[in-house]
Amino acid sequence: MTTTPVTRSRRRWLAAALVLALATALLAAMAIGLDEGPGPLVLPAVSLTIDGEQVIRAADFAGLSPGQTAAAVAAALLALLVVALVLPLTLVLVGGLLAVVLLAALSLPLLLVGLVVALLMSPLLLVGLLLWWLLGREAKTPPDTIAA
């Protein structure tokens, strides 16, 4: 199975399609918010309670003008876009940092132990290399040729 690399023009088309989709979604939300769409946007009353204390009591969005409703919808879409971009980026960066920390914490001590063992074994390795070199020279004598 072969994969084709993404060309520069293909990336441009994908970016243009993403921008077009986001612009279309924003325009649709604004059209709904401005009552130009299929029906009015009816938002429920919202109350916010933190630690048993009500911070916002029954915020009613019905009294907003169409422009304010469009701005609220655009702000909500922008917040969702920011969350959709920031959350995965944060997870990737934390995962990469965790991988680097684990690599440093586990592999560097093992590498140091391997270097110390190699240093301690170096006289034995040198004797083995010398024997291999001496025995290897004897085995490489040219074979006898048959005269024709």
pLDDT tens profile 81-128: 888 888 888 999 999 999 999 988 888 888 889 889 888 888 888 888
pTM, whole model, 2 decimals?
Answer: 0.38
Mean pLDDT of all residues in the chain?
Answer: 78
Rg (CA), the chain: 35
Q: Is residue 115 part of a domain?
A: yes
The number of folded domains in the chain is: 1
Question: Is the model's pLDDT at 80 over the cut of 70?
Answer: yes
Residue pair 34/66 in contact (Cβ under 8 Å)? The answer is yes
Q: Is residue 18 part of a domain?
A: yes
Range of the domain at 33: 12-137
Q: Is residue 111 part of a domain?
A: yes
Distance, CA of 73 to CA of 32 (rounded, Å): 9
Q: Is residue 145 part of a domain?
A: no
pLDDT in tens, 7-28: 778 888 888 888 888 888 887 7
Q: Is residue 88 part of a domain?
A: yes
Q: Is residue 7 part of a domain?
A: no
Q: Is residue 1 part of a domain?
A: no
Q: Is residue 146 part of a domain?
A: no
Other C-beta atoms closer than 10 Å to the C-beta of 25 total 13
Question: Which of 37, 42, 25, 40 minimizes the C-alpha distance to 77?
Answer: 25
